[in-house]
Amino acid sequence: MSQHARRQRPEADPFTERTPRVVAARHLTRRQGRDKAGRFLVEGAQAVREALAWQGGEVHELFVTVTAAERNAELLQTADQAGIRISEVTDKAAASLSETVTPQGLIAVCDAVPQPLESALQGTPRLVAVLYGVSDPGNAGTVTRVADAAGADAVIFAGDTVDPHNGKCVRASTGSLFHVPIARSRDAAEVFAACRQAGLKLVAADGHAKDDLVEASAKGELTQPTAWVFGSEAHGLPDDVVAKLDTSLKVPMYGAAESLNLATAAAVCLYASVRDQRNLS
Amino acid sequence: MSQHARRQRPEADPFTERTPRVVAARHLTRRQGRDKAGRFLVEGAQAVREALAWQGGEVHELFVTVTAAERNAELLQTADQAGIRISEVTDKAAASLSETVTPQGLIAVCDAVPQPLESALQGTPRLVAVLYGVSDPGNAGTVTRVADAAGADAVIFAGDTVDPHNGKCVRASTGSLFHVPIARSRDAAEVFAACRQAGLKLVAADGHAKDDLVEASAKGELTQPTAWVFGSEAHGLPDDVVAKLDTSLKVPMYGAAESLNLATAAAVCLYASVRDQRNLS
């Protein structure tokens, strides 16, 4: 990579954690900074590769350590050819931009992923995941990955849900944040209205629901275009939210387990819908 | 709790990390120690409650800090009535028995959970989860929880899979280790033979399989009694293991995600089987 860095900054020393551009990027490790800039940080080779291939926004610059540059020559060439500014940074500077225990030495500054609700729900969506009040970023990212795998049309971060750009959420999504349209809104009523407008049935995934999805599937009730609404792992969905939706279904517990964790429950719900929708067509 | 401790050791000081019984229990934080003793440690109120209710083995003793005793008076009364030795320990001693960042101050010494393969597979099992070469304890515990939720008849830790008594595995199982029969064997051939003997079809959950489970479900192929075999998250199942099984199925990826993580994939597989088996009957 040093050749790329040199091409842009011929005789410069690596950026340190005090270099203004690194300081500016470090603001993106906090939600407030990300919201203000409309940008976020993406770390590691796989995630940066996904960001570079993403059609929904731009990568604005790359920071890379000497060691990471040697490991990722091809990736940096791709970025360089796309005209993306690449800067060599010290290990300490890279660590200051990282939220992981073992910094990867490769960080991209990238446009925020959410798009307007109407845009994320355009066309005739058949399967959507709505996260409501999900505070754990790992869970939110894993559900995004599952939604992508199930071919969902969108993932919506609603109400007081974690920022999709949170470093742990980005990592847990393993690139899916760049694959599936993402929207967010603090106003859950607006989200539910937009889903209905798009022809989606709003189904609460609720461990306390009377009906379960295996029975619902047997009755042919899962073939409709559906927005599954998932609550926090600790508290589930509040009653007043469940009351606003069209129906509630639980994942049946056939053994003695009290519940599933959020990501595994979401996997069962989303694949139950996709299975019935696909076997119909 | 101090009343219980007093009942057994009227004027004793709390055990420290150097008290022989605590030292002996600390050997159980390592696999070698657990294998030798045939016992393991269970930490926290929920897990200890499950251990006390367990029919498959015994709780031999409880260690508790003053603070944890105050929070868990009822639980300690239950244990005391069951004749279980309860000893007050210092915070430091409790921490020395804990594998968590925030020790819970309540630890039980409990019989190992695995039973012989033949016993775990007795009767006419319809759904079994086999873990082969799963090294991450959190994944193994979460799959055990999912298998319990899906009403699986047994979970088998096969080959070079993590010890089910690993602290992280116990925590991730959220009690399911005590609900569903557990067996383990390093000899995978023995596990596969026992599953066949019990009338189970051996299905590899393999991301590289030609066929997917949604198609298999549509063709009615998931109604048979099935042992799903899951490999490690990093490497999946080795080809020579897949070759020994009856068939392979993948969870279909409808979007751009490359894969699901092990626990979410297992949730989709196990619930696909249980759904088809239950809608049949």
Q: Tell me the torsion sign for CA atoms A269, B242, B258, B261.
A: positive
CA B196 from centroid of its chain's CA atoms: 23
Q: Where are the beta strands (DSSP E) in chain B?
A: 39-43, 59-64, 85-88, 106-111, 127-132, 154-158, 182-185, 201-205, 226-230, 247-249
Considering only residues 112 to 171 of chain A, which have any Cβ-Cβ distance to chain B shorter than 8 Å? Answer: 142, 145-152
β partners of residue B89: B15
Q: How far is B61 from chain A (nearest CA, A)?
A: 25
- What is the pLDDT at residue B12? 76
Nearest-by-CA chain A residue for B263: A264
- What is the per-residue burial (b if ≥16 Cβ within 10 Å, else e) of A90-109? beebbebbbeeeebbbbbbb
The Cα–Cα gap between B51 and B42 comes to: 8
Give percent above pLDDT 70 in chain A: 95
Q: Is A170 exposed, middle or buried (0-12, 13-18, 19+ CB in 10 A)?
A: buried
CATH of domain A117-280: 3.40.1280.10
What are the extents of the domains in chain A? Answer: 2-111, 117-280
Provide the ipTM: 0.91
Would you tell me the crossing angle of helices B45-53 and B73-81 to the nearest 10 degrees? 20
In 3-state terms, what secondary structure has residue A49? helix
Nearest-by-CA chain B residue for A273: B214
C-alpha to C-alpha distances, A39 to A34, A83, A175, nearest whole angstrom = 5, 18, 16
β partners of residue A131: A157, A230
Condensed to tens digits (0 to 9), the pLDDT of residues A171-210 reads: 999 999 999 999 999 999 999 999 999 999 999 999 999 9
Condensed to tens digits (0 to 9), the pLDDT of residues A109-165 reads: 999 999 999 999 999 999 999 999 999 999 999 999 999 999 999 999 999 999 999
Q: How far is B32 from chain A (nearest CA, A)?
A: 29
Which tokens hold the place of A179?
A: 């694959």
pLDDT, average across residues A258-270: 96
CB within 8 Å: B257 and A214: no
Which tokens hold the place of B33?
A: 């120690």
Q: Which residue has the tokens 């990867």?
A: A104
CB within 8 Å: B256 and A148: yes
| Closest residue by Cα to residue B213 from B273, B257, B132 | B273
Q: What is the overall mean pLDDT for chain A?
A: 93
CB distance A205 to A228 below 8 Å: yes
Q: By the CB < 8 Å criterion, does B42 face chain A?
A: no
Name the CA radius of gyration of chain A, rounded: 21
CB within 8 Å: A257 and B145: yes
Residue to test with chain A: of B264, B274, B281, most A Cβ within 10 A: B264
Q: How far is A260 from chain B (nearest CA, A)?
A: 6
Residue A6 pLDDT grade (very low, low, confident, very high; cuts 50, 70, 90)? very low
Same fold, A2-111 and A117-280: no
Per-residue pLDDT of chain B (281 residues; tens, 9 = 90+): 444 544 455 457 999 999 999 999 999 999 999 999 999 999 999 999 999 999 999 999 999 999 999 999 999 999 999 999 999 999 999 999 998 888 999 999 999 999 999 999 999 999 999 999 999 999 999 999 999 999 999 999 999 999 999 999 999 999 999 999 999 999 999 999 999 999 999 999 999 999 999 999 999 999 999 999 999 988 899 999 999 999 999 999 999 999 999 999 999 999 999 999 987 65
Least CB-CB distance to B267: which of A151, A258, A267? A267
> Fold for domain A2-111?
60s Ribosomal Protein L30; Chain: A; (3.30.1330)
Q: Tell me the torsion sign for CA atoms A225, A187, A264, B46.
A: negative
Q: How far is A89 from chain B (nearest CA, A)?
A: 30
- What is the pLDDT at residue B100? 84
| Closest residue by Cα to residue A268 from B268, B101, B224, B192 | B268
CB distance A121 to A195 below 8 Å: yes
Contacts of B260 in chain A (CB under 8 A): 145-146, 149, 267
